[in-house]
Structure formats: C-alpha cells, structure tokens
C-alpha cells in the first residue's frame, strides 16, 4: 500500500496524544480535521506564508468551504502519523487540496530483521479553502503575495 | 431560506461556547463534526439506543466511514444552533445521514415588532456510519435491536 | 455524599459525548475546564450578561487567571453531569468562583424501587476570572454594568 | 525573565494552531492542559515508557488527580511554545510535576541586530498524576518498571 510521494506533496508528522482519542480507543473522527489543518498551516509556513501576518497585512484569511473525508483505518494513542497536503486545483479565490493521514509500518521477522517498511492509509480527504475578507467573511480574490508564494499558474495573471 | 422540517428530521439544540470558536472569531471548522455527533447520539438516545449499553450488550459500535461537508456561513460565540439528523439510506452494515446546522434568526422592525422569523443554514453534510466489532474494528451487520429501534425497512429481514 | 445546594449556586447540565472522552474510557482531564466554562457562561447569561455583547459595549472580557482542580471520580460516555458555579470572592478586577461537576445517582432495590437518590462529586475547583481590556490584555476594573448584574457588595462603590 | 533550565527539566516544543485558539484571539485556557499532557507523555516516552505498552503490560495507567494553574500571559496563533515537565515529588502511588509553558522571545535593534534573547512565562502549574488499575480506576502502587525508569529514590525499595 506504500506509495512514494512526489516532491509536490507536503508532509508533516503528527503524534496521537490522549486528547485526540475517544472512549472507542481510537482517534475521534473530527480530529483528523485538526491534523489536516496543522499540515495546511505548516505547508503555508514552508512557503513563507504566516496566517496571522497575512491577516494583519491584507485583512483576509483562509476559511474552509468544503470537506470530503474517507476513514479507512483507525489511529490509536502514540501513533506517529504522516499527514500530507497537496494542491490539486487553483482558482482565483480558492484552492483545492488533497490530504491524507498515513501510519508508517515496520514489520520484522522473528529474528529481529526488518523485512518490510510501508504505510497504511488511515484517512484521506479533499479540502477546499477560500479566501475571505476577515471582517465581513465575504469571498475575495487571493492576494498577489499568496499567489506568488504558491507559485500558481495564475500568479502571473493576478 | 426557512424550510419547514418534516417529522422524520431529528433536531437538537447546541450552544456555541468559547471552546468551539477560534481566533478567526468563528466556530472552528472541525467542531461541526462534534455538533453533528452530539445530534446523532441524541437521535439514537431518542430511539432508546444508548451507545455504551449497545457496546456492552453486542460488542459493537458505530464508526464514521465517510463525511461530506459544506460550510455556508460562520457560527459565532453565543449562537444557539439547531442541529439536525435524518437517515436517508439504510444498509445492512451502515446508515447514511443528512445533517445540518441552522441558526434561527429573528428580525424586528424599528418599533420592536418581530416581522420575520427564519433560519440560516450554516453547515450541512452527509455522514455514513458503519457498525463494527469494537475489538477488531471490522465491519459487521447491524444488530437486530438497532434495526428494530431504527424502524428500518430491513428490520423484518434481519 | 449528597449536599443540598443553596440558592446562590448556579447549576447547568452537561452531557458527556464521544468528543469529551479519551482512550482511557473516561472524560479527558482538560475537558472539565470546558464544562466549567460553559457553566460560567450560562451563569453570566442568567444574569443578563452576554459576553460578546459586553465586549462590544465595553471593550473588555473575562479571562481566567488561576485554576485549582481536584479530580475525585471519572465521568464516562453518556453521563449527564450537573456543573455548578458560585462566586466566593468579589474584587474590583476579578472574581473567585467555586465550581463542581456532579454525577446524579439513583440506586434501586431488587424489586425496582428507588431507595436512594444522590450525587457523586467528580471534579471540583476554584477558578479566578479577571477583567481585561481585550485589545491589550491588561487587567482593568469590572464595568459597573457587570458589578450591578452580579449584585456584588462592591456595586454601590464603583 | 529568562531562566536557564536544569538538566532535570524536560522540554517539548508545541506550536499553537487554529484549533488551540478561541474568539478572544488567544489560546483557550483548557488547552494548556493538553500542552502539559503532551509534554508529560513525551517525557515518559524519553524514559522508555509508552503508556499504551504499560497499560497492556501492567493493566494500569496514570490519571491526573490535582492541578494548579496560573496564567500569566496569553499565547497566540503561530506561537512556538516550549513546554516543560519536572518531577518535584515522588510517592509510591503518585508523582508531582511542575510544568510551564514559555514563549521564546527575540528582540532586535533598529539595524537588525539581535540584542536580547529570552522567554516569557505564559502559564505554569503543578500536576499530580496517580497510578490506577485501569479497569476499576482504583489507586495502585507504581509498578517497578515505572519506578526504575523514573530513577526515583524509591526504586530500590519497591
């Protein structure tokens, strides 16, 4: 099930703590949206985009407008997840991202040798984030600084 | 935008507290999944289905397998939301629910008369919940007690 | 362990949902601070004090400055807690509250008669809330509207 | 305000994400207990103590029995906190920890030179964690494996 990730996929590690689990013994379903948000924030930070700084400078912010999630396997306490973010569509006022939470696996033989390394897909989703005027919460066009940092095909047009 | 809700739509009120909001001044996007879960739990309870009791009796529990969400308008601190749950598909091992979060609105005239009462749709989604063996987390058929309580067309077949 | 509560103790019911529990099968320890905050907010609302309205009108808000908590017994999924709030000290810039989370209990005899009704104390704490200028986060004197609504001995002096 | 930390103080970095903040623009007060729990878990992990492994092996787990918190300054979105944990008392069935959340600061001169590096204390507390039998939630003596890993003065006596 291991799939090599391409250079355009941003990855961010996230540890599962007690706060993330529920009485079912697994990660509460809403919390994958927290993990995905952390990965999006770190992806933006990796491009030089701090959200508080952006808001102070432009008066705008990203909000999520659509989410689709599939839950494949549960995560548990102490799991160290790899959470991804990858832009799959660029628009003038919104972006579509594909995001996944993976659990790296390492299986050994009886004599202690590692005989396979892989990852299980736990949860995957698509998330649309739109740019809004933070005061009125109205959709707005992405600022040039954001488009440029993202390196979108639209940057030159803005 | 007001739509009268039919008898088969379960409604549950939820107040927005500080814990639900984020620094954008609005409800954090993952928290609608908490609100939807509360409404599903109360809907099950209204049918006589306590989840802890069910688990003790059957060894099984519901888990969410798919979610689709659209965010239309933000909720804010102190808002009293109306959250709904309605089954739209029954299967032998899962159910599909439509869920919505509404903000009731009340608009007055300048002399204090109420001249319209309505509700804004804030967030809507579909949620698929499947029944699993709680120990192995494997899909399983819904127990007869659940099917009977739900009054599904499948109950007589189980 | 049942203690009749006096008129000056505000009570607010809170149901334990999946979101509140952790993999230990009990309510996650930080979440009692959510429950206590909900009770404080509803206590303020019962006095006519909406926090968003207050902030818009005065530019100030309450923040918590000190917390002491003792955990006596765990709460579990589906428990319906009674959460209390009672002011025990009034100052010009802060208030001290005592707060508790109780689980009502009902014990029956073998023939179905209820032979005792009581409540177990799950968690208790003291919480100091101070008034701050929301922009600079600096301590400030409680506005007269707040003092009056609270009916404090200090109201006439403000 | 900078205080050099001694070798016996465990430190763990924690980033503030949207999920941690509230509509006041600052970290919600309950969330410091999440940050403190993460630091305790990582401190235990650094000693070779995995909590799920411990529970499987011994049937026991840590629960928090007492908390005292002081909030000094607010944390905000994007802050990278340093969270500490240090044992200050060892007992046969519980441990007392001192924990702090610090915000590193870096102040520059007008010509871009860094002229001070320090840290602000945001929140500090003491947390008592007790060992319980996970099934009955009754206090129990700390297992020898835990005492040995902690290197307590009591280890030789257990």
Is the pLDDT at A115 greater than 90? The verdict is: no
Mean pLDDT, residues A115-129 taken together = 92
User: Which of B29, B43, B130 minimizes the C-alpha distance to B84?
Assistant: B43
B70: which strand partners? A66, B124
Mean pLDDT, residues B119-147 taken together = 95
Instruction: Please give the pLDDT value at position C67.
Output: 98
Instruction: Please give the pLDDT value at position B120.
Output: 96
Is the pLDDT at C29 greater than 90? The verdict is: yes
Cross-chain CB nearest to B19 (options D18, D22, D26): D22
- Which carries the bigger pLDDT value, residue A138 or residue D111? A138
Mean pLDDT, residues D68-73 taken together = 98
| Among chain A residues, CA nearest to D40 | A17
CB atoms D52 and A15 under 8 Å: no
pLDDT band (50, 70, 90) for residue A158: very low
Instruction: List pLDDT tens digits, range B67-115.
Output: 999 999 999 999 999 999 999 998 999 999 999 999 998 877 777 777 7
Is the pLDDT at D17 greater than 80? The verdict is: yes
Q: What angle do CA C136, C140, C141 make, to 5 degrees?
A: 160
What are the backbone angles phi and psi of residue C19, rounded to the nearest 5°?
Answer: -60, -25
B neighbour chains, 3+ CB pairs within 8 Å: A, C, D
Instruction: Please give the pLDDT value at position C154.
Output: 58
DSSP assigned state of D86: E
Spatial distance between the Cα atoms of A12 and A5, rounded to a whole number of angstroms:
13
CB atoms A26 and C26 under 8 Å: no
Whether the CB-CB separation of B31 and B101 falls below 8 Å is answered with no
Mean pLDDT across chain D: 90
Instruction: Please give the pLDDT value at position D7.
Output: 54
CA distance A58 to chain B (A): 14
pLDDT band (50, 70, 90) for residue D2: very low
Mean pLDDT, residues D121-147 taken together = 95
Instruction: Please give the pLDDT value at position C5.
Output: 45
Cross-chain CB nearest to D17 (options A18, A38, A78): A38
Instruction: Please give the pLDDT value at position D57.
Output: 92
User: Which of C157, C90, C154 minimizes the C-alpha distance to C128?
Assistant: C90
- Which carries the bigger pLDDT value, residue B54 or residue C7? B54
Tell me the ipTM for this assembly: 0.89
Whether the CB-CB separation of B124 and B103 falls below 8 Å is answered with no
pLDDT band (50, 70, 90) for residue D8: confident
| Among chain B residues, CA nearest to C30 | B19
Cross-chain CB nearest to B69 (options A37, A63, A67): A67
CB atoms D78 and A15 under 8 Å: no
Contacts of B146 (CB under 8 A, 6+ apart): B49, B54, B131
Cross-chain CB nearest to D17 (options A18, A37, A50): A37
Is the pLDDT at D3 greater than 50? The verdict is: no
Both structure tokens of B90: 């029954």
pLDDT band (50, 70, 90) for residue A154: low
Contacts of C1 (CB under 8 A, 6+ apart): C118, C119, C120, C121
Both structure tokens of A79: 């799991």
Q: How far apart are the first and last CA of chain B?
A: 40
Chain A residues whose C-beta is within 8 A of a chain B C-beta are: 23-26, 29-31, 33-34, 37, 61, 63-71, 73-74, 134, 137
Is the pLDDT at D29 greater than 70? The verdict is: yes
Instruction: Please give the pLDDT value at position C9.
Output: 95
b/e string for B73-93 if b means 16 or more Cβ within 10 A? ebbbbbbebbbbbbbeebeee
| Among chain A residues, CA nearest to B122 | A65
Residues of chain D contacting A78 with CB distance shorter than 8 Å: 41, 45, 50-52
DSSP assigned state of B5: P
Spatial distance between the Cα atoms of A156 and B122, rounded to a whole number of angstroms:
35
Residues of chain C contacting A25 with CB distance shorter than 8 Å: 23
Residue to substitute from A25, A30, A63, A65, interface B, most B β-carbons within 10 A:
A30
- pTM for this predicted structure: 0.91
Which pairs from B4-8 meet CB under 8 Å and 24+ separation? B5/B84, B8/B86, B8/B87
D11: which strand partners? D84
Chain C residues whose C-beta is within 8 A of a chain B C-beta are: 15, 17-19, 34, 37-38, 41, 45, 50-52, 76-78
Is the pLDDT at A155 greater than 80? The verdict is: no
CB atoms A37 and B24 under 8 Å: no
Mean pLDDT, residues A12-23 taken together = 97
Which residues of B are tagged catalytic?
22
Is A22 one of the catalytic residues? yes
CB atoms D23 and B21 under 8 Å: yes
DSSP secondary structure, A36-49, as one string: HHHHHHHHHHHTT-
Largest pairwise CA distance in chain B: 63
pLDDT band (50, 70, 90) for residue C153: low
Instruction: Please give the pLDDT value at position D113.
Output: 76
Of A22, A56, A66, A78, the catalytic one is A22
CA distance B38 to chain C (A): 6
Both structure tokens of C68: 């002491």
Spatial distance between the Cα atoms of A71 and A69, rounded to a whole number of angstroms:
7
DSSP secondary structure, D39-57, as one string: HHHHHHHHTT--HHHHHHH
Is the pLDDT at A114 greater than 80? The verdict is: no
User: Which of A50, B29, A78, C38 minimizes the C-alpha distance to D29?
Assistant: C38
For residue D10, give the H/E element and its range.
strand D10-15
- Interface size A-C, in CB pairs within 8 Å, comes to 30
CA distance B71 to chain C (A): 21
Query: What domains can you pick out in chain B, each with its CATH number?
Result: 12-150 (3.10.129.10)
| Among chain C residues, CA nearest to D74 | C137
Q: How far apart are the first and last CA of chain A?
A: 40
Instruction: List pLDDT tens digits, range B19-44.
Output: 999 999 999 999 999 999 999 999 99
Spatial distance between the Cα atoms of A119 and A81, rounded to a whole number of angstroms:
10
User: Which of B145, A23, D98 minimizes the C-alpha distance to C76?
Assistant: A23
Is the pLDDT at C133 greater than 70? The verdict is: yes
């Amino acid at each position: 099930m291991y799939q090599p990730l391409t250079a355009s996929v941003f990855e961010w590690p996230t540890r599962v703590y007690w706060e993330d689990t529920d009485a079912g013994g697994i990660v509460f379903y809403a919390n994958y949206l927290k993990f995905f948000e952390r990965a999006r924030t770190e992806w933006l930070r990796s491009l030089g985009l701090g959200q508080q700084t952006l808001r102070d400078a432009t008066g705008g912010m990203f909000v999520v407008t659509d989410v689709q999630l599939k839950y494949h396997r549960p995560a548990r306490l102490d799991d160290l997840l790899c959470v991804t973010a990858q832009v799959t569509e660029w628009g003038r006022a919104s972006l579509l991202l594909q995001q996944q939470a993976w659990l790296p696996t390492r299986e050994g033989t009886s004599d202690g040798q590692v005989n396979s390394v892989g990852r299980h897909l736990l949860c995957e989703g698509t998330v649309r984030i739109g740019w809004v005027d933070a005061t009125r919460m109205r959709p707005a066009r992405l600022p040039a600084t954001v488009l440029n940092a993202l390196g979108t095909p639209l940057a030159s047009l803005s």
